[in-house]
Amino acid sequence: MTELLEDQITAAPVFSQITGRRFVEGDELAARRSIRRQIGRLERELSNAFLTAYPMGGLPHPAGAARRDPRLLDLGELERVRDELAERLHAARVTIAQRAEVQAAHRLRLERMLLEPAKHRFETVSRQDMGEPGCGAWQVRPRLGLIGMLMGWWQVKLSSGCPLARGRARGARPGP
């Protein structure tokens, strides 16, 4: 394959300029390969973090314009890419941890609502608050309406799920 390539390369003017070119020497080449492997690992971890964060509301989209000029990065540029990825991964993990804490707090609140509904009157915890799919919500409501309120009969009710698809309300339509 290499011989074939060398044969092809001598055949054209551009090739004669690129055959003898070497971008880096031994130690630097090894350093660049090592950083590329690190970038690959960080990319995998960032993808996993993206997947974990998705049901929690996702990660913020990175800012900036898309570059469309693929090129061979030098050692400094590769280090910058690696460091930026490491920062994004760290930020993603912090976001996930914060959201997980909030979800855990909502779960705890729901448990307390279930144990002592009267102490959490009209409080609501939605599925979304706990990172669960669907539109249901748990709410502390009085049994039998006003009578329950007067008698102190409180219970936790789970709503029946997502609202049915409907058109826009009449009032929401722009006027003629």
Partner 1 sequence: MMEELDLRAAAGFVEPALSEEFPALRLSWITVQAGQRASPRGVKQRLRVLSNRFHGGNVVAMRTKPIPHAYRAFFRQIGLDPDLARIPSEEAAVARLLHGGFRSQDLITDALLIGVVETGVPVWALDADRIDPNGLGIRTTIEGETFGSGEQRLPAGRLAVADGTRVHALLFGPVAPGHGVSGQTNRVAAFAVGVEGVPEIHLEEALWLCGETLLTE
Euclidean distance between CA atoms 12 and 18, whole angstroms? 10
76 binds partner 1 (CB under 8 A): no
> Considering only residues 73, 102, 149, 156, which one is a binding residue for partner 1 as defined by CB under 8 A?
73
Give whole-number Cα distances, 168 to 87, 136, 172, 174, in Å: 44, 21, 6, 11
* 126: β partners: 137
Q: Supply 149's token pair.
A: 């309120």
Long-range Cβ pairs for the range 49-53 (8 Å, 24+): 49/89, 49/92, 49/93, 49/96, 50/92, 52/96, 53/92, 53/95, 53/96, 53/99
69 binds partner 1 (CB under 8 A): yes
Of the two residues 35 and 110, which places its CB atom closer to partner 1 in the complex?
A: 35
Binding mask 41-60 for partner 1 (x = CB under 8 A): --xx--xx-xx--x------
> Considering only residues 3, 23, 163, 168, which one is a binding residue for partner 1 as defined by CB under 8 A?
23
Euclidean distance between CA atoms 110 and 57, whole angstroms? 20
Asked if 107 and 130 count as a contact pair (C-beta separation under 8 A), the reply is: yes
Of the two residues 31 and 156, which places its CB atom closer to partner 1 in the complex?
A: 31
> Considering only residues 3, 27, 72, 173, which one is a binding residue for partner 1 as defined by CB under 8 A?
72
11 binds partner 1 (CB under 8 A): yes
Of the two residues 12 and 162, which places its CB atom closer to partner 1 in the complex?
A: 12
Contacts with partner 1 by CB under 8 A lie at 1-2, 5, 8-9, 11-15, 17-19, 21-24, 29, 32-33, 36, 39-40, 43-44, 47-48, 50-51, 54, 61-62, 64-73, 77-78, 81, 85
